[in-house]
Amino acid sequence: MTKSLRDAKANELFELTKVAVTATTGTLPTATGAQVIADTATPTVVELLKLCMELKAQLDLISN
């Protein structure tokens, strides 16, 4: 991978992590570094939300 392509990919990741995640009711789950999905054929909304928060936390780490 060339340096310019790597820089372009890094910039794309940075732009993705600018997304603000808020909750109007209740609280969002916090990233713990792990996520278990009990049944991958039918994940629950809560499991998917936790997975999204884990991924966002990882993207935030690499973009800083």
Per-residue model confidence as pLDDT tens digits over 4-38: 877 777 777 667 666 677 788 888 788 888 888 89
Q: Tell me the residue range of the domain where 44 lies.
A: 3-63
Q: Which residue has the higher pLDDT, 8 or 54?
A: 54
pLDDT at 64: 64
pLDDT at 44: 93
pLDDT at 1: 66
Model-wide pTM > 0.75? no
57 residue type, one letter: A
The domain total for the chain is 1
pLDDT at 16: 66
Alpha helices in the chain (DSSP H): 3-16, 45-63
Q: How many CB atoms are closer than 10 A to CB 25?
A: 4
